[in-house]
Structure 1
Amino acid sequence: MSHSDCAHVLVVGASAAGLSTVESLRRKGYQGQITVLGDEWHMPYDRPPLSKQVLSGAWESDKAQLRSAEDIRSLGAEFLLGDAATALNVESRTVRTQSGRALRADAIVIATGVRPRTLPGQPDLAGVHVMRTLEDSLALGAALREGARLVVVGEGVLGAEIAATARTLGAEVTIAGPLSAPMAMQVGPLVAGVLGELHTERGVRLRLGTGVSELLGREGRVTGVRLASGEELPADLVVVAIGAIPCTQWLQDSGIRLDNGVVCDARCRAADGVYAVGDVARWEHEKFGLIRLENRTNATEQAAAVAETILGSDRPYVPVPYFWTDQFDAKLQVHGVLRPEAEVQVVEGEVAARRFVAVYRTDGLVTGVLGWNMPKQTRLRRQEILDALFTPSPIS
């Protein structure tokens, strides 16, 4: 499909990835019709602050909005909010919605994101929270009183961030999860161990290395969590942060390949004229294989790549993944891929001083770089990943 044939682009998902797609199309000169369908009633807002600034009350919720009303108007796109997509017909490129709309377009961009995984019995108990939407953040923030006993189920990035924010607000916080340290899966044992020490020093209790077997409740309200070890952790509030599931249920009968996301080729194309961006997209990265990235940077970069493809470019999307996390006074930045089996070497600063840069190597090649409170040095080291991945090997 050439640029000139594309009179109408439909973006399904009014999130960061969806908005970035619209902005990229307009920035690259696309003059056609753009429609954005969103299941929430909000204009696009940013999700990373939900577990930090919005949860702590440092930001009013409107500060999480990604663009002003004026900026949105200047895009000349039609936003249809509070209406979820329910089906896609790939042949006619038509999306049906909950309210009964049928939206036809020349190109469709799927940006429906992810939804939180839940535990059995979770919907029936008051006081059990998840963190995905603005409402989720505001509801937990309102419930987090000084001295409230909070159990965070899940030791990943989101769980660790929520625990840090809640502890800063004066709650009594415990993190429970099957891995041995916070973010062990994302950063490997060395850095996860240091993160565990930081949380412990700040008064977060770690009950790690054992899964959660059930939520405990009385009269419809959560009272605690039972671990697989049999130990019971009393709680006034529980946050379940055990990962997310791509929102693809509406695509079940579309014929599009679904496997932990919308499966796409190297150009983020799921079918002719149908693309996916952001947390929901699982595409063929020419260096890392089939990957799906749940981070803010990818939402923006992938959207720009798909906009270019819609407008006739033919380049694979080959980013160096990047994410960051803020917990207490620690800012961690991660470039590339930190494989669990990687060999980790601290190349700048000192772990003991909690200012350092670590390089992750797999089979002798640098695949990832992690910085702890050393943003500039970390960014400079990113080049080593590019060199390792994109420099042709000399012929021996």
Structure 2
Amino acid sequence: MSDPVVIVGASLGGLRTAEALRRSGYAGPVTVFGDEPHAPYNRPPLSKDVLAGGEVTHAAVAFPQRAATADVLWRLGTRIGSADLERRRVRTADGEEVGYRALVVATGLRPKRLFPRTAALAGAFALRTLDDAGELSAALTPGTRVVIAGSGFVGCEVAATARQLGCEVTVVGSSGLPMLGPLGEALAEDLMERHEQRGVSFHMGTHVAEVIGRDLVEGVRLADGSELACQVLVEAIGSVHNTEWLSGNDVDADLGLRTDSAMRVLRVDGSPWPDVFAVGDVARFPNAIYGDTPASIEHWNIPTETAKRAGRVLALQLAGDPGLADAVAERFAPIPSFWSDQYDIRLLAYGLPALADRVELLAGRRGEDCVYGYFVGAELVGVCGIGMRSEVMRHRDEVSRYGQLPIGETD
């Protein structure tokens, strides 16, 4: 039997790649390696519904397995420690060597930690996995003093959940406002006020400089000299791409694993490895909406979009299909999308608001349901709303047109 297509990462991207391979006609063997013991599951609810639910179960977030991938071999709880792309081999952490016909990297991200010692400190948590959510959920009891280092989406979602569970919550952020980069000043300020109305405290423009406590968290000392007592510290300061296992190979893994628009991993000289692909958060790829510069886009729809793209191209390649060249040349322009639930507030966004040089209130009112548009010159590059879903959706196609016409030009 021929070597399988090996997918490293039993994630949403890994699952959707296997599905895309089958949907595109590939019927050969597929093996998926995942270092967690769990089959693929949905991560966004971990900081919201799952964290607040008390009992954290895989069934609550598991993705359904379709019949088309019933014959996929899932090797869960098995970490890949290294790879040799020239020899088409991966090696597990316990030394087993596995050959592949093609390799798909879907290893995603892991949380940054404030300091090396916090990973082993009782009361310090980072949230990425289902097991992380279970451990943190057990610690969020009424009256517990919680400090959240990081004021991005994960930090603010955990703050909302912890506050609803009766905890005393303080968020520490290095920027002037929480979620400032993706939301812009007006909407970020609005969201901060809504958190404050519900009892969350903010220390902005500073960062955690020291964790107080030898074996367990007793508090933190901030860069501005102030101290905050706490029993729980949540580290939500960003992520690291899981690419170390590819070290020693001819790849560009700075800021994510660089690929072309067909999701083929590139060598340092820019030429593609024909049998190595990357999908999801770990991939740094060019999006035709925003130009030729590869970027890692950590939005919830990107693993699915990149997996569909990689699976189709790879299936054509494995079949020797003459349509491969046309498929590789097709314009790949997925519209980034994200959503966030905080209390009864539901944020929905399309595009990349962080690119904007101008933000405009398009509908609604500050403090209530509202929609903001994010512009570069006259062109809409992003839209984000609280509620008003139909209004947000109305601008989605306009966002996708950015980059197709010169700035300021209309049909």
TM class, shorter-length: over 0.9
The answer as to whether partners of 1:357 and 1:370 remain within 8 angstroms in 2 is: yes
The answer as to whether partners of 2:56 and 2:133 remain within 8 angstroms in 1 is: no
Task: Give the equivalent residue in structure 2 for 1:10.
Answer: 6
Q: Per the alignment, do residues 362 and 73 of structure 1 end up closer, same or farther by CA in structure 2, a change over 3 Å counting?
A: closer
Shift of 1:273: 0.9
Q: How does 1:246-325 map to 2 (within 5 A)?
A: 246-270=241-265, 271-288=273-290, 289-312=293-316, 313-314=327-328, 315-325=330-340
Task: Give the equivalent residue in structure 2 for 1:230.
Answer: 225
What root-mean-square deviation, in Å, do the aligned CA atoms of Structure 1 and Structure 2 show? 2.0
Shift of 1:237: 0.5
AA aligned opposite 2:333: V
Q: Secondary structure at the match of 1:115?
A: strand
Q: Secondary structure at the match of 2:6?
A: strand
Task: Give the equivalent residue in structure 2 for 1:385.
Answer: 399
Give the number of aligned pairs: 388
The answer as to whether partners of 1:159 and 1:241 remain within 8 angstroms in 2 is: yes
Q: Distance in 2 between the 1:137 and 1:152 partners? A: 15
Q: How does 1:182-201 map to 2 (within 5 A)?
A: 182-201=178-197
5+ residue gaps, structure 1, are: 1-5
Task: Give the equivalent residue in structure 1 for 2:111.
Answer: 116
1:99 pairs, out of 57, 75, 94, with 94
AA aligned opposite 2:244: Q
The answer as to whether partners of 2:56 and 2:134 remain within 8 angstroms in 1 is: no
1:329 pairs, out of 331, 336, 344, with 344
Shift of 1:28: 2.3
Q: Secondary structure at the match of 1:145?
A: coil
The answer as to whether partners of 1:23 and 1:75 remain within 8 angstroms in 2 is: no
AA aligned opposite 1:370: C
Q: Distance in 1 between the 2:331 and 2:201 partners? A: 45
Q: Distance in 2 between the 1:367 and 1:74 partners? A: 37
The answer as to whether partners of 1:225 and 1:233 remain within 8 angstroms in 2 is: yes
Q: Secondary structure at the match of 1:92?
A: coil
Q: Per the alignment, do residues 111 and 316 of structure 1 end up closer, same or farther by CA in structure 2, a change over 3 Å counting?
A: farther
2:55 corresponds to 1:53: no
Q: Distance in 1 between the 2:56 and 2:216 partners? A: 28
1:160 pairs, out of 114, 137, 156, with 156
Q: Distance in 1 between the 2:334 and 2:410 partners? A: 26
Q: Per the alignment, do residues 110 and 316 of structure 1 end up closer, same or farther by CA in structure 2, a change over 3 Å counting?
A: farther
Shift of 1:346: 1.0
Task: Give the equivalent residue in structure 2 for 1:367.
Answer: 381
Structure 1 residues 76-120: Cα deviation after superposition (integer angstroms, max 9, x where no partner): 100111111111111222111112222212211100011100012
Q: Secondary structure at the match of 1:290?
A: coil
Task: Give the equivalent residue in structure 2 for 1:27.
Answer: 23
The answer as to whether partners of 1:267 and 1:316 remain within 8 angstroms in 2 is: no
AA aligned opposite 1:290: P
Q: Per the alignment, do residues 213 and 60 of structure 1 end up closer, same or farther by CA in structure 2, a change over 3 Å counting?
A: closer
Q: Distance in 2 between the 1:263 and 1:253 partners? A: 15
Q: Distance in 1 between the 2:356 and 2:385 partners? A: 19
Task: Give the equivalent residue in structure 2 for 1:210.
Answer: 206
Shift of 1:310: 0.6
Q: Identity of paired residues, percent?
A: 38
Q: Per the alignment, do residues 123 and 346 of structure 1 end up closer, same or farther by CA in structure 2, a change over 3 Å counting?
A: same
Task: Give the equivalent residue in structure 1 for 2:175.
Answer: 179
AA aligned opposite 1:380: R
5+ residue gaps, structure 2, are: 266-272, 317-326
Q: Per the alignment, do residues 395 and 211 of structure 1 end up closer, same or farther by CA in structure 2, a change over 3 Å counting?
A: closer
Q: Per the alignment, do residues 304 and 74 of structure 1 end up closer, same or farther by CA in structure 2, a change over 3 Å counting?
A: closer
Q: Distance in 1 between the 2:410 and 2:130 partners? A: 53
Q: Per the alignment, do residues 359 and 388 of structure 1 end up closer, same or farther by CA in structure 2, a change over 3 Å counting?
A: same
TM-score (norm 1): 0.93
The answer as to whether partners of 1:150 and 1:239 remain within 8 angstroms in 2 is: yes
AA aligned opposite 1:309: V
Q: Distance in 2 between the 1:74 and 1:274 partners? A: 21
Q: Distance in 2 between the 1:79 and 1:154 partners? A: 35
Q: Secondary structure at the match of 1:176?
A: strand
The answer as to whether partners of 2:19 and 2:69 remain within 8 angstroms in 1 is: no
Shift of 1:182: 1.4
Shift of 1:74: 4.8
Shift of 1:295: 2.4
AA aligned opposite 2:146: L
Q: Per the alignment, do residues 24 and 64 of structure 1 end up closer, same or farther by CA in structure 2, a change over 3 Å counting?
A: farther
Between stretches 53-62 and 32-41, larger displacement belongs to 53-62
